[in-house]
Amino acid sequence: MPTVSVIIVNYNGEKLLADCLGSLARQTYRDFEVIFVDNGSADASLARARELMPEARFLPLPENTGFAKGNNVGIAVARGKYLVLLNNDTEADPRFLEELVAAAEQNPRAGMVAPKILNFFDRTLIDSVGGLVMCPDGIAQGRGRGERDVGQYDGLGEVLMPSGCAALYRKDMLDEVGLFAEDFFAYCEDSDLGLRCLWAGWLTVAAPRAVVFHKYSASSSTYSPWKLRLVERNHYLLALRNFPPHMLAMMPVWSVYRYGLMAYALLSGKGKGQATGGGQGGALLEAFLRGHWEALRAGPHHLRHKAAKRRLSDEQFTQLLRNHRMPLRAMIFNA
């Protein structure tokens, strides 16, 4: 039985696989299996993956089931004590698995471990270190994204939750808490799972010496209308499933504030790339409205599916989020 099961969900990522699977072949830590879930790719991904890593376990799906269900399919057959999710658009440092496992072994109460994720093309640029930080309306972003990595976050200990791009999860924790919410499809599903694990009393620790390089949004898009729709829908569903009543009551206030910031960023061109629209203003507005409509329709269902395992009080959970909060202005505007 391997100690680690590495799960890679792929959709039309043939050109990305040499870097990803090649880096796993070079790991110093050898006690792992690779589970390759192909989400109905139309390219030659499956043949390429079998060529690069014939010893992996391959789970071809007939259609694109999304990031959430794709990972759940892989987790269902995983044999490892630890489950490591890895995007297909990444390249792992040779000591990536070694450092993740070491952090988990040193912290028995940690159900999640967050590595250091750097930009693949500029390896001094941070994608996230120590996982995600969360805005008060439930949208999360990688800690330090866009900053130069000079070791400023290497002393982190306990953090909020990892990014699903690259993360270690303890299998015992997932057996208790459950898996990804499949109707999220993609985006915010890692935040939802992380918050449910926190409610259940599990911790997340940072492993900054576990390094992975990420081709940000190479497997999807930087900020397409499709992505905007899913993010807008899913962050509301995440809040309904996890936020205490007093935080939910403040959601309309924070949402109106964020909409105002986004509108200013779009009209002025002063926001980050994802907030300026990239010339897709009309399509983004339509996606924005559609995401809200879908959230309204799905809201009652998700409100009935609040995190079941709750070992924290509302006050303890709220304080945890405050300790790792990101201001909305910092998410939308350049420094």
State the pLDDT at residue 331.
85
State the pLDDT at residue 205.
98
Residue 284 — very low, low, confident or very high, per pLDDT cuts 50/70/90?
A: confident
Domain boundaries, the chain: 4-214, 225-314+322-332
Q: Which of 73, 69, 103, 66 is nearest to 5 (CA)?
A: 73
- Which tokens in the block code for residue 57? 């376990």
Q: pLDDT tens digits for 193-227?
A: 999 999 999 999 999 999 999 997 544 445 689 99
**b/e code 170-187 from CB counts within 10 Å (16+ = b):** bbebbebbbbbbbbbbbb
* Superfamily per CATH, domain 4-214: Spore Coat Polysaccharide Biosynthesis Protein SpsA; Chain A (3.90.550.10)
Q: Which residues contact 324 (CB under 8 A, 6 or more apart)?
A: 132, 133, 134, 143, 159, 160
State the pLDDT at residue 335.
55
For the chain, the maximum distance between any two Cα atoms, rounded to a whole number of angstroms, is 56
The Cα–Cα gap between 186 and 46 comes to: 21
Phi, psi of 266 (to 5 degrees): -65, -45
The Cα–Cα gap between 198 and 8 comes to: 24
CA dihedral 303→293→193→327, nearest 10 degrees, is -110
Angle between helices 225-242 and 189-199 (to 10 degrees): 10
State the pLDDT at residue 216.
75
Q: Which residues contact 100 (CB under 8 A, 6 or more apart)?
A: 4, 82, 84, 113, 115, 168, 207, 210
Residue 119: strand, helix, or coil? strand
Alpha helices in the chain (DSSP H): 17-25, 45-52, 66-77, 96-106, 171-177, 189-199, 225-242, 245-268, 273-276, 281-303, 314-323, 328-332
The Cα–Cα gap between 316 and 206 comes to: 20
Bridge-based pairing state of the strands 203-214 and 90-92: antiparallel
Q: pLDDT tens digits for 99-153?
A: 999 999 999 999 999 999 999 999 999 999 999 999 999 999 999 999 999 999 9
**Contact by Cβ (8 Å): 94, 286:** no
Residue 290: strand, helix, or coil? helix
CB atoms within 10 A of CB 31: 14
- Which tokens in the block code for residue 176? 């208790």
Compute the chain's Rg from CA coordinates. Answer: 19
Q: Which of 325, 86, 84, 316 is nearest to 198 (CA)?
A: 316
Q: Which of 143, 181, 187 is nearest to 161 (CA)?
A: 143
State the pLDDT at residue 266.
79
Instruction: Choose between 266 and 114: higher pLDDT.
Output: 114
- Residue identified by tokens 């680690």 is 4
pLDDT above 50: residue 230: yes
- Quote the pTM value: 0.93
177 conformational bin, left if phi > 0, alpha if psi -120 to 50, beta if neither:
alpha
Q: pLDDT tens digits for 151-203?
A: 999 999 999 999 999 999 999 999 999 999 999 999 999 999 999 999 999 99
